[in-house]
Amino acid sequence: METIETVRQRALARLEAKALEVRARSKDRFWQNGPYNVQRWVERGYNSAIDTVQQTAPAAGEAPADYIDRLAAKVYSSREYGPDADDEGWFSGAIDDACSIIRDSKPM
């Protein structure tokens, strides 16, 4: 049986890999939209999810699957805190994907 720390580390590793991928894309001028770089908003979404996972401790006696569900819900609650200029939902799309990544990290 996997521990909470194992599933937490798996979720973090997957989120960090995605954030690195997006960070690399943000350096490509293709993603420049006027004064904005939409991939930076996407990166901000993944980084927000990473911070949430790093800062959310498991509750006493919480099962790994329940912890993952709680993390995903907590990350999802940050969906509306993206940049005001993000009228196409780049940040919230990243949050949605981060929630999927977290849920996919449930114990095997």
| Rounded Cα distance, 56 and 35, in Å | 34
Q: Confidence class of residue 28 from pLDDT cuts 50, 70 and 90?
A: confident
pLDDT value of residue 108: 75
Mean pLDDT of 41-70: 96
Residue 82 in contact with residue 41, Cβ under 8 Å?
yes
CA distance 87 to 61: 41
For the chain, what are the domain ranges? 4-103
Average pLDDT rounded to a whole number, residues 46-54: 97
- Given a cut of 70, whether residue 33 has pLDDT beyond it is no
pTM surpassing 0.85?
yes
Beta strands (DSSP E) in the chain are 32-33, 36-37
Instruction: Give the span between the Cα atoms of 45 and 91, in whole angstroms.
Output: 5
